[in-house]
Structures are given as C-alpha cells and as structure tokens.
Amino acid sequence: MALLLGCKLLSLFLLPLFLVSPSLSDPLYQVCGSTGNYTAKSTYESNLLALLPSLASNGSNQGFYKDTTGRVPDQVYALILCRGDTNTSACRNCLDLARQDALQLCPYNKGATIWYDNCLLRYSNSNFLNSTDNSNVIYMWNTQNVTDDLDKFNKLAGELVNRTSQYAAFNSSRRFGTGEANFTATDPNIYGLAQCTRDLSGDQCYKCLTGITSAMSRFLGKRGGRVLGDRCNFRYELYTFYEGKSLLQLPSSSSSPPPSNGTNTTGNGNTTPAVPTMGGDGNKNNIGMILAIVIPLVIAFLLMSTICICFWRRRRLAKKIPNDTNPEEITSVESILFDLSTLRTATANFSEENKLGQGGFGSVYKGTLHNGREIAVKKAFQQAQGKE
C-alpha cells in the first residue's frame, strides 16, 4: 500500500508525533539515551539505583542538583531541576515519579531525560554535567488559536517571554522568572515562565534562553507554547500555570502607537509613542523609542521568516514525500506535541481502523484534527531516539 510506504518513509526520517498527557503526574516527554544499555545486576545498574534516590533527597530542597557516582566505565552522571515555584515536597514527589518512570520508559538504557510540569531528570554514563548545551530541545504548543488581535498577541507574548527570560537570567540567582502581561480588557492575561539550571551564569542562561525563545516564531497565534530543554525552558499560556505571584508585570500595551500615516520617518520625531517599558526603569523614553522602532521590524521579520520557512518546508517535504501524502499533513513533525485528548479524538481513540502501520518504535495512526487537518500519529510506548 502506497499509504503504508509513505508512513514508513515518514517514520524513517522524521521524528514522529508523541503524546502528551494532560495529567500533572505524567511525563511530558522523555528521550532515552543513545550511549548503550546496561545489564541487570551490573555495576552500572547498582550505581544508577543508588544515585537516583539520593538526587531527590539531596536536591528537592534546592530544586537543583547534580551528582555523579561510581568510576568509569560504570560512572553515572545525573542532574535534576524542579520548576522554580515548586516547594520541597512537590519537587520531591515529582522526582520520585521521574526516577520510576525513567527506568520504566527507558529500560536498561544508560541514559534518559524525562520532563514533567514540575521537574526534569537526566542521567547518563557520559559526563554532561559541566556542559551548557541545551540538547534535547522539545517544542510543544497549545493547538488552540488566538482569534482576536493576533498581531498584538504575538507581539505581547514575544515580549513577555523575552522579559521573563531576562528576569530569569539577570534578576534571579535561582535563574527563574515568571511574568504576566495584560492582553485586552476582556481577555485574560498572558503568563510566562522561564528557567535555567542554576549552574549557568546569567549570560549563559540568557544565551540558552534566547536560543529557544526564537521558537516563538513557531507559536505565532497559538494560545500557549513551551520549549523544554535540559538546561533551560520557557512557557507561556493565557492562564496561570505556576504558583504564586508573577515576579514581573508588563505594563499594558493597549495604547500602542497609531499606524504611521505618511509621517516623517527621518530624524528626531518629537512624539514618543507609548510603548511598554518596565516600571522603575530610567531612560524610559530612549527604551521606548528603541522598542517602538525595533518591535515592528522584528514582528515583520518574524512573519516574513515564518512564511518563508513554511514555504521552504512545504517544497522540501513535497520533494521527499510520495505524491499521495499531502505535505500539509506533516508540517514540523520534529517534535510537535498535541494533547492526548486531542489525539484520542483525532484518531477515534487509536482505533484499529485508523491504524496505518507498525514501525520500529510503535504503531502509526491516521488522525483528523477537529479543524479537518490530517495528521499521522505515532503511538510510542518506548522511545529510543535522542542524543546524549
């Protein structure tokens, strides 16, 4: 069957879709290591089984911890990070779960990275502890679109994520920031969160975060989005998803500058458009002016590049995919994640009828999202991809 062939091809060179469960206690995602397996009752196993519980007992108070045990070739390296707003017990609960899930989802694998809403656990036999690389970057977004004031939303969400990242990098020794911005009077606020592992310097953290916040261009118009990494992560939503008060408030941007109307663009305009700046900053006017010039440019650039990327991707995929597979079906399959419930609905609860085939890592189902778009869904129980 041509369809099956298409599917096989797909699973060969594109990362499949994976499942997100809405429950807090389920992993968001996991990436098993690629540095080999250990055997039952080996020294590596006993090192690993000794190290994992100690991470939770030593690290849940601080919310960040890294440690190693054993000697090469059986040395195990591990790192944990809890979300900055979790308390000791919530952190510990999450890590206890992570340890069990990781061993179950990546059995006998020397390495694993597993993400939850509240925590991250990573272990490996290769020493990644001093690395500042944000490997294993996973993109997730809310499939619901923003309907009103799209441009304003994209701009505000981008700005919020940027400011929250700056806060995490430079205003927090814990490298953690949360922020909110008023969208419109009727709509709820936008909430953002950014975090790095605490061993990064401010500059390293900021660099890590700018590396992933560039993904905001993938999320244009989406009601929420997040990027998971093993050194830094961020998220934004139109609802609160963290505990406590936001550390940062973006002033309302309802008084955005009026569209220019044949105005003189050169030289020193004597009107300073009202642009959001952070409260308490000096140089308000300068910052405002710079933002007023830079933001529209950036937005235009982002829009243009999104269009270009989409166009390019369609062409590229059209080249690689057999004709009977609509390239639209598989836009940015790298690591898209949908709600489990969305996927359940789309695939009629993974019914046999919708099953397209069975690949090396799991079964592939055809699905139709409620907007009519067709997707290929891979249901993977165990995943053996990813880099260490």
Ligand X SMILES: *[C@@H]1O[C@H](CO)[C@@H](O)[C@H](O)[C@H]1NC(C)=O
Residue 281 or 322 with smaller CB distance to ligand X? 281
Question: Least CB distance from residue 252 to ligand X, whole Å?
Answer: 3
Comparing C-alpha atoms, which of 18, 3, 75, 8 is closest to residue 377? 18
Q: Which of 70, 251, 296, 327 binds ligand X (CB under 6 A)?
A: 251
Longest Cα–Cα distance of the chain, Å, equals: 76
Three-state DSSP class for residue 44: helix
- List the x/- string, 352-371, binding to ligand X by CB under 6 A: -------------------x
273 binds ligand X (CB under 6 A): no
Strand partners for 79: 66, 122
Question: Least CB distance from residue 366 to ligand X, whole Å?
Answer: 18
- Beta-carbon contacts of 105 under 8 Å, excluding residues fewer than 6 positions away, are 27, 30, 32, 112, 114, 382, 383
**Could you tell me what percentage of the chain is helix, strand and coil, using 3-state DSSP and rounding each to the nearest 5?**
35, 20, 45
What is the per-residue DSSP string for 134-161?
--S-EEEE-SPBP-SSHHHHHHHHHHHH
36 binds ligand X (CB under 6 A): yes
Show the beta-strand stretches assigned E in 42-118. Answer: 64-69, 76-82, 112-115
Separation in Å, CA 135 to CA 19, 113, 147, 298, 388: 20, 10, 34, 27, 7
272 binds ligand X (CB under 6 A): no
Span 83-142, contacts to ligand X by CB under 6 A: 87, 89-90, 107-108, 127, 130
Tell me if 379 is assigned to a ligand binding site: yes
Helices (H) and strands (E) in the chain, counts: 7, 16
Q: Which of 243, 318, 324, 351 binds ligand X (CB under 6 A)?
A: 243
Residue 323 or 371 with smaller CB distance to ligand X? 371
Question: Least CB distance from residue 123 to ligand X, whole Å?
Answer: 15
Three-state DSSP class for residue 363: strand
Separation in Å, CA 217 to CA 14, 153, 189, 303, 330: 21, 12, 20, 8, 18
Q: Which of 110, 155, 175, 378 binds ligand X (CB under 6 A)?
A: 155
Question: Least CB distance from residue 1 to ligand X, whole Å?
Answer: 27
328 binds ligand X (CB under 6 A): no
Question: Least CB distance from residue 353 to ligand X, whole Å?
Answer: 24
- List the x/- string, 162-201, binding to ligand X by CB under 6 A: x----x--xx----------x------x------------
Describe the strand order of the beta sheet including 76-82 as a list of residue ranges: 29-32, 112-115, 119-124, 76-82, 64-69
- Residues annotated within a binding site for ATP: 379
Residue numbers at the binding site for ligand X (CB under 6 A):
36-37, 54, 57-58, 87, 89-90, 107-108, 127, 130, 143-145, 155, 158-159, 162, 167, 170-171, 182, 189, 210, 213, 221, 243, 248, 251-252, 261-264, 280, 295, 298, 371, 384
